[in-house]
Chains A and B, each alone.
Chain A
């Protein structure tokens, strides 16, 4: 499964240099507990504008929690999270400001089943950005074309396949014109034959320079677009490296074990 979607479009696009790019996300000694369970322990992470990061790790390693902390779906208990120059705190204004800049795609799509595809896309621009309905629909149709399903605009989410729904979910997040996109296992709930159509959209997005944090086990995707692959285990960042190096020469024993399990089954 994990290797089925090998780099679809050939040459990797990591030629660009990130050294001079400004940081858009900075996590400094972030800690979080679920009850007694230490789910994130002392996480430090710096994400540059335009960087694409793939986060992998065994289930329960805290990778989803990590990216959910970035747009405050989860609250961190210690440490600092800065997103686009704004510090995440309990201040609702800051949270709103950050959520406007950060789009998110979920494992289970989470489209709004009572709204049409078009309404799913235009809802937030109209109500959060106060965009006139006509403009919002124009933007939405443009994005639906980009994810290659403009003909589904008037249908309801329940009438679409999983792959189509996930592409709509990506378009919905893009509708807010976010600077950063978070993906929480976007292909894990999909049937195998639909994984590629979603990954293709994500790869296109990456080529356009979007800053992306992606929790996924699609190693083909990681090879194709990631600037950096992060391996998490038991709430820690165990190892991070460029994809070639990461896959060819994993240094940590836990990384080796994990890669062995997902690549050779």
Chain B
């Protein structure tokens, strides 16, 4: 081989003892005496921990006891979870109606899973979220009154948005459609505000009404986290862009908001929302406590997301902005087509990290008396006949949280690979 002329040498196969399972074990686990001893010690330790855990959680566990006293003196008391799972999952939701939050959870999971697929990231996403949210809240509330003013507002927004985004691209017919939508929406809203039109609404009421103070368990956690992050995300993008704005007033407002929110704990913001906000509202006006908590979560998450996205914006080379400018793209086009698609890709890992953090932080709403999943699990410990098994309940709650957080973490990984396909330098 070596005496062949340059350029004609065939590539060599790698040395044999580095390949295959045995080769891998030799190289990575037993490459030296120290390494070998460490491997053995760690394997023995892991086996010992795992076997005692399995012994407690499976082999001596009680799955069928009907009271707490039957469980005592044995392994894990999973009978408690069996007895209380409806309380843990659905909290104080009316017992005979608890199939509704169950299907609400299913609807939300379906919505989340469907929108995780990148091929759905177009108009379908709006349909999925519109439908999913409608089903979720219809099930949770039981009755929804859709006011005509809301429909008019949506028509106005869709009309104006369509006009500004599709101007010069779409056919005249499509544009006239947007104009008509915007006009109808605007006229309706004006007439409603002046008082010519009454407050009409479409009632959709297939089930009995359940107010938010009775909601509890997993649906509450899912709703708070999902809608909190879904609204906080675009809000955070706007804050991040505002923070980099060249207009001093906008920049100052965004910096001020971000620093203010980041400077206080979420708990204090929640207490403010639940205790202090009502003091500032005119008497007679009340805002639902659940909604207040939701808004507090959105504001808080928005500030953190804004800072992450700002990091992504700063990582873009100046040349990208200049190239977009030189081509004549305006600010909105430059931001939406060039800057954000690249900046958001860069920040997927820290962004999902924040999402995971906030998913768990929603359990802080217990401080203002909302029964999220963890708080409902806590309630399962109150029953005196099942007293004494907090480990089982918290382990179960931890497992459920882990399932959600681990899925998000895996999804983040998938997204990174998927979005960077072919674009790596």
Q: How far is the CA of A172 from the CA of B168 in the complex (A)?
A: 21
Query: What is the total number of residues of chain B having a CB less than 8 Å from a CB of chain A?
Result: 24
Contacts of A258 in B (CB 8 A): none
Q: Answer whether residue A112 sits at the interface, using C-beta atoms and an 8 A cutoff.
A: yes
Also in contact, A176 and B328, with CB within 8 A (given A106-B319, A106-B322, A156-B423): yes
**Residues in A neighbouring B325, C-beta threshold 8 A:** 71-73, 99
Please choose the segment from A46-54, A124-132, A141-149, A208-216 that sits at the chain B interface, where 4 or more of its residues have CB less than 8 A away.
A124-132
Q: Tally the A-B contacts, defined by beta carbons under 8 Å.
A: 72
Contact check: which of B317, B320, B322, B330 meets A73 at CB < 8 Å? B322
Q: Are A114 and B345 in contact (CB under 8 A)?
A: yes
**Pairwise interchain contact A114-B342, C-beta atoms closer than 8 A:** yes
What A residues does B345 contact at CB under 8 A?
A: 114
Is the CB–CB distance between A114 and B341 below 8 Å?
yes
The digit string for A79-120, where 1 denotes a CB below 8 A from any CB of B, is 000000000000000001001101110101111111000000
Residues A127 and B329 in contact, CB atoms below 8 Å apart: yes
Q: Which residues of A contact B422 (CB under 8 A)?
A: 155-156, 158-159
Interface residues of B in 246-296 (CB under 8 A from A): none
* A172–B342 CA distance with the chains assembled, in angstroms: 19
Q: Give the secondary structure class of B's interface.
A: helix
Q: B169 to A130, Cβ gap below 8 A?
A: yes
Which listed residue (A106, A132, A155, A158) contacts B323, Cβ 8 A? A106
Contacts of A102 in B (CB 8 A): 326
CB-CB under 8 A from B322, the residues of chain A are 73, 106, 110
**A114-B423, A130-B168 known; A100+B320 contact, CB < 8 A:** no
Closest-CB distance, A94 to chain B (whole angstroms): 12
Say yes or no: A112 contacts B320, CB within 8 Å. yes
A232 at the interface (CB under 8 A from B): no
Complex CA distance for A100 and B325, rounded to whole angstroms: 10
* A102, A108, A124, A158 pick with most chain B CB within 10 angstroms: A124
CB of A139 within 8 Å of the partner chain: no
Q: Does A195 contact B (CB under 8 A)?
A: no
| A128 and B319 contacting across the interface, CB-CB below 8 Å | no
User: Across the interface, which residues of A come within 8 angstroms of B338, CB to CB?
Assistant: 112
Kindly report which residue of chain A lies nearest to residue B169, judged by CB atoms: A130
Report chain A residues within 8 Å CB of B342. Answer: 112-114
**Residue ID in chain B nearest A124 by CB atoms:** B327
Cβ of A157: which chain B residues have Cβ within 8 Å of it? 423
The complex places the Cα of A123 from the Cα of B330 at a distance, in Å, of 12
How far apart are A168's CB and chain B's nearest CB, in angstroms?
Answer: 12
Which residues of chain B from 311 to 336 have any CB-CB distance to chain A below 8 Å in the complex? 317, 319-320, 322-330, 333
Interface check B119, CB cutoff 8 A = no
**Is the Cβ of B326 less than 8 Å from the Cβ of A99?**
yes
Q: Are the CB atoms of B337 and A123 closer together than 8 Å?
A: yes
- A204–B424 alpha-carbon span in the complex (Å): 32
Bound: A110/B328 CA distance, A: 15
Among A72, A102, A132, A156, find the residue whose CB has the most chain B CB atoms closer than 10 A.
Answer: A156
Find the residue from A96, A128, A173, A176 having the highest chain B CB count within 10 A.
A128
Could you tell me if B320 and A110 are in contact, using CB atoms closer than 8 angstroms? yes
Known: A110-B320, A110-B322, A114-B345. A128 touches B423 (CB 8 A): no
Q: List 11 A-B contacts (CB under 8 A).
A: A71-B325, A99-B327, A103-B326, A106-B322, A108-B317, A112-B320, A113-B423, A114-B423, A158-B423, A172-B327, A173-B326
**Which A-B residue pairs are the 4 nearest by beta carbons?**
A130-B168, A110-B323, A110-B319, A124-B327
